[in-house]
Amino acid sequence: MTITENKVVLIHYTLKDNSGETLDSSEGKEPLAYIQGIGNIIVGLEEALLGKIVGDKVNTTIAPEKGYGVRNEENIHKVPLAGFQADGDEKLVEGMQVRVETNEGISIADVSKIEGDEVTLDLNHPLAGETLHFNVEIVDIREATKEELEHGHAHGPGGHHHH
The least distance separating Zn ion from the CB of residue 97, rounded to whole angstroms, comes to: 27
Rounded to whole angstroms, what are the CA distances from 4 to 44, 47, 65, 91, 144? 15, 10, 22, 48, 11
For Zn ion, which stretch binds (CB under 5 A), given 8-16, 72-80, 128-136, 147-155?
A: 147-155
- Phi, psi (deg, nearest 5) at residue 150: -65, -40
Q: Give me the 86-125 binding string for Zn ion, x by CB under 5 A, dash otherwise.
A: ----------------------------------------
* 64 vs 159 by CB, closer to Zn ion: 159
* 119 vs 144 by CB, closer to Zn ion: 144
- The dihedral over CA atoms of 144, 61, 66, 160, expressed in degrees to the nearest 10, equals 30
* 77 vs 160 by CB, closer to Zn ion: 160
Helix (H/G/I), strand (E/B), else coil: 125: coil
Measured distance CA(45)–CA(11) in Å, rounded: 11
* 132 vs 154 by CB, closer to Zn ion: 154
For Zn ion, which stretch binds (CB under 5 A), given 92-100, 108-116, 124-132, 150-158?
A: 150-158
| Residue 151 makes contact with Zn ion by CB under 5 A | yes
* 142 vs 151 by CB, closer to Zn ion: 151
Would you tell me which residues interact with Zn ion (CB under 5 A)? 151, 160
